[in-house]
Structure formats: structure tokens, C-alpha cells
Chain A
């Protein structure tokens, strides 16, 4: 669907050059929701702007399906851009146009002159984003969440193949964020639209993305399915997004306390999918004779996949503990010593 090959981009900041992208390559499949996460300054804004060439990379190529965007002339690029929707953090609506006027705008740019056709399409889109009653209001009369819905309707107007979301929920409160993410997930499912989004919030990735790339210092330091990256983070940047510092500190204290008492068989159990809600601990305890105390635990969902992660301490004879471990592995739980 979209393919980036070895993108480099640097900016002149006063008297030195700052590298924003340092050899980024990635591929996003059709129908996928792909997230890019990074701290501010990691280069994620530059990266998403390179996908529709609002920012031109110094070197490297961008492919959209079979078209190399980086090789296109001005007007050919403008035509391709009409097939890429984009949603912005600060909405970027035209203040001088009504809701309907804003949604009609990309249609007009694309040369649609039939007023009835525009009206039909606009109504359809406003229906999709749940704003049918607001068509004649001006952006200044809308809430942040409503503005973003207009932004999304506008981005979808020309039936894009790809939707880019530039921190689309960062300016919204948690509840509104939730409803916008639900809307994006719904659009992805219903229209089978490929979505690439950037964010600095792990929650956004966890809720709607299929795959994620972690960006740090202009490089991708980790990439993979969200369940993989989220549950088994390899890079310190990824961990920094996942770990709540307070929880981490509390866990470390618990571990220190137990180890000081001579109890050191502490493991992290990770499980996903169907078996998440099964009574693993109870059944394994019964079968092995080992006992457990829970130091920390969390059960939740990554997009549609349930998962659980528990840090437990094993009590019992070495043989019992070994049996317990074997039983966990047999049940498909990932068992990691801490």
C-alpha cells in the first residue's frame, strides 16, 4: 500500500543541521491501522508529512501502491494527494465556511461542479461522522470533538485510499478521544481504509492499531504487531511509553522486599487471546502444588485481543515450581524470570 525507502531529512536550525529522519524504511499493508509512536522531537511529524510530501525528504523514496510519489511532478502529486486524506491535531478547518462547506471543499478542489452531487456526498459523510444536525454551523460554534469529526469527514470526501492522522486526538479530552478513536476504527472496518497515525499516547496505539513503529532520534527502533511490541518491549524507548513510573517503582520495591527475605522466584506471566480470562493460577496451583502470590497484574485489551500480564512469586518445592512453569508454558502463557 505505502512503502518508504530509506528516508532522510534534516533541518537547518540556526547554525547546525538537525536530523529529523535518519534512514526510515517501512511498509504498510492495505486495510491496516498503522501507528507511529515517539516522544516529541523524535521525527514523527516529519515522517507523516513525508507520506504526502508536505515535507520532501532529502533522500529516499515514497511509494503509494505502484506510484512513486517522490518522482511525481507538481500537478501529478496534487492529483495523488486527493487520494490521501489527512486529519490534523488542530483540525485546520476553514473558519469562513460552514461544516458542509468544509466537507465540500476537497470535492470542489477535485473539480466537482455538480452541486447536487456535492450535497449528496456531504450529507453522506456528515451522517457517517454523526454530524448531520450541524451542517450549517461554522467551526467556531463547534466543540473540539465535533471539529475533528468535520476534519475526518473532509478527509474522507474524495474516497481516499489512505488516511493520515497527525496527532488527531492530542488536543481532545479523554472521552472525546475515545469517541474519535471509535470512529476511526469504525471507518477502518467499514471502508477497509488504510490508516497511518502518529501519536505520543500509547493508549491510541493500544486501542486501534494493528501494527506499530517506535520512532526515536529519527530511526525506527522497534516495529511489529501491537500485541508483540506492547507485551514484549525490547527497546528502552518503547518501555518508557509502556511503564507507568509509579507502578514500576512499586513493583521494584515489592521485588526488593521479597528478595531480601530470600524469596526470589519471581516471574512475569503474559497471556493473550481466548485463554485470557481462564483461571490459570488456580488450575496450575492445583495441578503442581506450587502456590502464588501476585505482586502486580493487569488484564486488558489490545485492539480486539484480550491480554493479561501478571508478576507473581512462586512458592513451593523446586519440583513443584518446575512443574508449575511447565504447565504455564503448556497453556500458552509466556513465562519470564525477573
Chain B
């Protein structure tokens, strides 16, 4: 097979990369905004925790599990009416963000929950003994102590989101995935496919090494 690199429209690739980064950025932002409180709620309501509540924990856990067990490609389609209601469109970069957040937030919430569980119970007990309120324990003990774990969780989530953004090309979500499907798959331009994969690979590498550095920086153990 002949490789024809001259046929690649680099401007198109640059634009698609930009779209992917925008999707990734906003999706990650809203994922963290939604997933962090959800993860904290999961942790606090869990068995033998500060606000242990069997019913609430079961409910949150169930919702998270349902969303996580839904394949993302299905979620993309199921979400269409909700997406339209939320942002007015179900296609393009804007249309891709709500399903990305709904797909990634429960995943991130579980990572938050497990990062918080790593915090030494003795430290929480010490804060209680000092008269800390639950809010103070969350904001001044749990989150700062779990920071390296939380950053690692954000990194894993960001990498997962990169592959989700590519998948959203299926519903016309824009970005590199969309480009790969339209040119690489539907028009048999394998070169475009190769380049998009390489760009995605670069983004993932960058995210991972940035995350690793931050984790290292904030680890005091």
C-alpha cells in the first residue's frame, strides 16, 4: 500500500486537535466539579465513616454503578435528549461535553472515594478530638491529605476522557476521533488515521507525565 503524506490536511488536524483539547478541558473540569462532591459523599456515607448512612450509600453506589456499567457508546446515544435539553445541541464539541461528564464523573467519584479511604483513620480521629466539624475534616484533613491520590485520580480520568472524546466522533462530536472516522475510516485515508492516533498518544503521554510530576510534588510520605 502506498502512503501519501501530502494528502493530509494539516490545518484540519490542527483544528481537530484544538477541538479535542477543548472537549477534554471542559469535560475534565465538569467531571471534577461533579465527581469530587459525589466521591466525598460516597466516602462519608460509607460503612463506619463519619456520616455513615446505609440507605444513602446504597443509593449513591447504585447510581454510580449503573452509569459505570453503561458502555460509553450507548451512553452517548441514550444521552441525546438530555444533551439537547442541557446545551441546545447534541453534536459538535458542545454536544459531546455532557455525555463525557456523565460518563467520567461516576468513575472519578469512585477514584475519589478510594483515595479518601487511604487517609489514616487516626488522623481523622485526631481532628475530631481537636473539635473539628465534619466540614472542617473534609476540607482541611481529608482533601489535603488525599491530594496526591486525588491528582492521580484526575490523571487517570483525563486519560480515559481522551479516549471517550475520540469515541464521541461517532455521534459527530468533533475533534480528532471525528476526523479519524470521517477521513481515516469512511474515506480510506489511513494516513489521517495514523496521524490522529499519534496526536492522541502524545496528549495521553503529556497528561500522564504531568500528573505523575504533580503527585510526586505533593507527596510528603
A residues neighboring B (CB under 8 Å): 52, 54, 75, 77-82, 84, 86, 88, 90, 92-97, 105-106, 108-110, 138-140, 154, 158, 164
Beyond A96-B147, A109-B140, whether A54 also contacts B128 by CB under 8 A is: yes
Interface contact B122-A96, CB-CB below 8 Å: no
Q: How far is the CA of A95 from the CA of B123 in the complex (A)?
A: 9
Beyond A97-B144, A109-B140, A139-B220, whether A92 also contacts B130 by CB under 8 A is: no
Known: A94-B145, A96-B147, A164-B129. 13 other contacts (CB 8 A): A54-B129, A77-B131, A81-B131, A82-B131, A84-B129, A88-B126, A92-B120, A92-B122, A92-B123, A94-B144, A95-B120, A95-B220, A97-B144
List residues 137-153 of chain B with CB under 8 A from any CB of chain A.
140-141, 144-145, 147
Q: How far is the CA of A106 from the CA of B130 in the complex (A)?
A: 6
Contact sample, A vs B, 6 pairs, CB 8 Å cutoff: A92-B122, A94-B144, A95-B221, A109-B132, A138-B220, A140-B220
> Closest 7 A-B residue pairs measured CB to CB?
A81-B131, A92-B126, A92-B122, A82-B131, A86-B129, A78-B131, A138-B220
Interface contact A93-B123, CB-CB below 8 Å: yes
Asked if B125 lies at the interface with its beta carbon under 8 angstroms from chain A, I say yes
Partner of B126, one of A82, A86, A96: A86
- What 1/0 flags go to B203-221 for Cβ under 8 Å of A? 0000000000000001011
Nearest CB to that of A90 among chain B residues?
A: B122
Asked if B136 lies at the interface with its beta carbon under 8 angstroms from chain A, I say yes
Nearest CB to that of B145 among chain A residues?
A: A96
Interface contact A105-B140, CB-CB below 8 Å: yes
A100 → B minimal CB distance (Å): 14
Interface-central residue, A75, A79, A90, A95, by most chain B CB under 10 Å:
A95
B residues neighboring A (CB under 8 Å): 120, 122-123, 125-133, 136, 140-141, 144-145, 147, 218, 220-221
Interface contact A109-B130, CB-CB below 8 Å: yes
Q: How far is the CA of A94 from the CA of B218 in the complex (A)?
A: 13
Residues of B within 8 A of A140 (CB): 220-221
Residues of A within 8 A of B129 (CB): 52, 54, 81, 84, 86, 164
Interface-central residue, B125, B128, B145, B220, by most chain A CB under 10 Å:
B220
Q: How far is the CA of A219 from the CA of B37 in the complex (A)?
A: 44
Q: How far is the CA of A138 from the CA of B128 in the complex (A)?
A: 22
Residues of B within 8 A of A52 (CB): 129
A15 → B minimal CB distance (Å): 18
Beyond A54-B125, A90-B122, A108-B140, whether A96 also contacts B220 by CB under 8 A is: yes
B19 → A minimal CB distance (Å): 37
Q: How far is the CA of A320 from the CA of B131 in the complex (A)?
A: 66
Q: How far is the CA of A97 from the CA of B126 in the complex (A)?
A: 14
Q: How far is the CA of A164 from the CA of B127 in the complex (A)?
A: 14
Residues of B within 8 A of A164 (CB): 129
Q: How far is the CA of A95 from the CA of B119 in the complex (A)?
A: 10
Beyond A54-B125, A90-B122, A92-B123, whether A79 also contacts B144 by CB under 8 A is: no
Residues of A within 8 A of B145 (CB): 94-96
Nearest CB to that of A91 among chain B residues?
A: B122
Q: How far is the CA of A90 from the CA of B125 in the complex (A)?
A: 12
Nearest CB to that of A102 among chain B residues?
A: B126
Interface-central residue, B129, B131, B218, B221, by most chain A CB under 10 Å:
B129
Nearest CB to that of B130 among chain A residues?
A: A106
B213 → A minimal CB distance (Å): 17
A203 → B minimal CB distance (Å): 24
Q: How far is the CA of A164 from the CA of B128 in the complex (A)?
A: 14
B186 → A minimal CB distance (Å): 51
Interface contact B141-A94, CB-CB below 8 Å: yes
Q: How far is the CA of A75 from the CA of B131 in the complex (A)?
A: 9
Interface contact B130-A82, CB-CB below 8 Å: yes
Interface contact A109-B136, CB-CB below 8 Å: yes
Interface contact A92-B125, CB-CB below 8 Å: yes
Q: How far is the CA of A94 from the CA of B123 in the complex (A)?
A: 7
Residues of A within 8 A of B123 (CB): 92-95
A13 → B minimal CB distance (Å): 14
Residues of A within 8 A of B132 (CB): 78, 109
Residues of B within 8 A of A96 (CB): 144-145, 147, 218, 220
Nearest CB to that of A89 among chain B residues?
A: B122
Q: How far is the CA of A96 from the CA of B127 in the complex (A)?
A: 14
Residues of B within 8 A of A106 (CB): 130-131
B114 → A minimal CB distance (Å): 17
Nearest CB to that of B119 among chain A residues?
A: A95
Residues of A within 8 A of B218 (CB): 96
Residues of A within 8 A of B126 (CB): 86, 88, 92-93
Residues of B within 8 A of A93 (CB): 123, 126
Beyond A88-B126, A90-B122, whether A78 also contacts B141 by CB under 8 A is: no
A298 → B minimal CB distance (Å): 38
Nearest CB to that of B148 among chain A residues?
A: A96
Residues of A within 8 A of B141 (CB): 94
Nearest CB to that of A83 among chain B residues?
A: B131
Interface contact A75-B140, CB-CB below 8 Å: no
